[in-house]
Amino acid sequence: MLSAIGFAQEEQVIDQVVAVVGKGIILESDIENQYINYKMQGGLSGSPSEKRCMILEDILYQKLMVTQAEYDSIEISDIQVDSEIDRRIQMFIGQFGSQEKLEEYYGKTMVEIRMELHDIIGEQLLAQQVQQGIVAGVTVTPSEIRSFYRTMPSDSIPLIVTEYVIAQIVKKPPINVEEKLRVKEQLLDLRKRVLDGENFSTLAILYSQDPGSAKKGGELGFYGRGQLYPEFEAIAFKLKEGEVSNLVETEAGYHILQMIERKGDFVNVRHILLAPKVSPSDLLKAKNELDSIAQLIRADSITFEYAVEAFSDGDNKNSGGLLLNPYTGSTTYEAEQLDAQVSFVIEKMKVGELSNPVPMKTEDNKDAYRILLLKKKTKPHKANLKEDYSRIQEWALQQKKRETIDDWINSMAKETYVRIIEDYQNCVFAHEWNAR
């Protein structure tokens, strides 16, 4: 979220100490920064005073965690803090469109923004580590899971939509040498045209196969270390302003780069990407091979599990070819979470049925083929212990963790010095802060 980056330009904050927790202080600006940014993002509910009270309690909780971290001698390294700062700044730049727009909006340089974020993110990471320690040993027993489910009001038991478990066998045809040479020669020709005076941006718009940057003349925007392909990054940070690189090979294909600007550990380059393509004949060979494998499985000559281990080129071959849901990290998918092409094939299949070979794009955007196995399909239903035990177990565990944290806050708030100014004494808090 964008809180913790300074003041929005349209509002002025008169600062004062609002609260003290142990040795830590909470300023009016801390609350106002978050309030303004919540408002910008449409994340406000309730009255302004209620929202400010909620923000104050969130910060009180964080300061209490930091106090405990100091007591337990927990430390966060500068490397951890800097890594998180890099991640968030890149996210902010993505939201604003460029580093310049981010700096312009907040009226601060990137150096000032990073300095302002350093202590705030350091405290957040400390608080996260303390919280993880508080709930580290929390588990739920089968009787607690059943009790949790029985106490759920019948009208609030969630409806579980249709879910799928799917496995695949993938064949990735290799790219032949002739195609790689063709792409390299084309890219070398484009590089020569730039060196002879043609505009890099124009050529990127015309020829680059990176859809995200081609329309912007190949410009990527500012990226920090560790955020680009290693081979790409190694060259990018060595270029001088306006310099054009030699060919760079990454998982995506072949690139030439031109330095636009470097600011400390951030670089902004433009590039032209050309990706070698799999030949139609090699694709057909992969399809035919999968078709033969599918026939063997249907004839019970080999098992699907054996075929995955013996023949699949997929990264998930060691997990039986199961597709992993990127939204949840589990092997179950709701219909809208499926790739459109997978959804089109799967919705016509019965459980246990194997598809014919279907085309696909790999993670690095290469053409390939796969066969799909529908391993499981559920019907829409209200959550119940028989079909959804693991899901209910997770709900029960999360509730127990929240209760454990609430108990810890209420206990520690009584033992820790907490003072809140009179303007916020009327806040209705979720915890017993015992403020003096």
Contact 364, 172 (CB under 8 A): no
Question: What would the two tokens of residue 8 be?
Answer: 């929005």
341 plus 361 within the same structural domain: yes
Instruction: Identify residue 4 by its one-letter amino acid code.
Output: A
Instruction: Identify residue 160 by its one-letter amino acid code.
Output: I
- Going by the DSSP 8-state scheme, the letter that residue 161 receives in this structure is P
Domain boundary among 249, 274, 299: 274
Residue 434 belongs to a domain: no
Each residue's pLDDT expressed in tens, for the chain with a length of 436 residues: 334 444 344 444 467 898 998 888 988 888 887 777 676 555 556 688 888 888 899 889 989 998 888 888 888 888 888 888 888 887 777 777 777 777 887 788 888 888 888 888 888 899 999 999 999 999 999 999 999 999 999 999 999 999 999 999 999 998 899 999 999 999 999 999 999 999 999 999 999 999 888 988 999 888 877 778 899 999 999 999 999 999 999 988 999 999 998 887 788 899 999 999 999 999 999 999 999 999 999 999 999 999 999 999 988 888 899 999 988 888 999 989 998 889 999 988 999 999 999 999 888 778 999 999 999 999 999 999 998 999 999 999 999 999 999 999 888 888 888 898 888 888 888 888 866 5
Residue 435 belongs to a domain: no
Residue 48 contacts by C-beta under 8 Å, 6 or more apart in sequence? Answer: 35
97 plus 183 within the same structural domain: no
Rounded distance between C-alpha atoms, residue 69 and residue 416, angstroms: 13
Residue 385 belongs to a domain: no
Domain boundary among 256, 274, 292: 274
124 plus 227 within the same structural domain: no
32 plus 76 within the same structural domain: yes
184 plus 217 within the same structural domain: yes
Pairing mode of beta strands 248-250, 253-263? antiparallel
72 plus 109 within the same structural domain: yes
Rounded distance between C-alpha atoms, residue 245 and residue 249, angstroms: 12
Residue 169 belongs to a domain: yes
Pairing mode of beta strands 248-250, 358-361? unpaired
Domain boundary among 274, 305, 332: 274
Q: CATH number for the domain including 237?
A: 3.10.50.40
Widest CA span of the chain, in angstroms?
78
Please choose, from the candidates 330, 329, 315, 324, the residue with its C-alpha nearest in 3D space to the C-alpha of residue 342: 324
Rounded distance between C-alpha atoms, residue 278 and residue 142, angstroms: 52
Residue 51 belongs to a domain: yes
Residue 147 belongs to a domain: no
Residue 83 belongs to a domain: yes
39 plus 118 within the same structural domain: yes
Angle between helices 304-311 and 280-298 (to 10 degrees): 150
168 plus 258 within the same structural domain: no
345 plus 291 within the same structural domain: yes
Could you tell me how far CA 332 lies from the centroid of its own chain?
19
- Going by the DSSP 8-state scheme, the letter that residue 376 receives in this structure is E
Contact 122, 391 (CB under 8 A): no
182 plus 64 within the same structural domain: no
Number of domains comprising the chain: 3
Residue 1 contacts by C-beta under 8 Å, 6 or more apart in sequence? Answer: 37, 41
Q: CATH number for the domain including 126?
A: 1.10.4030.10
What residue numbers bound the domain in which 351 lies?
Answer: 162-175+279-379
123 plus 169 within the same structural domain: no
The helix (H) or strand (E) run that includes residue 346 is helix 340-346
Residue 182 belongs to a domain: yes
245 plus 288 within the same structural domain: no
Contact 258, 245 (CB under 8 A): yes
Q: Is the pTM of this model over 0.75?
A: no
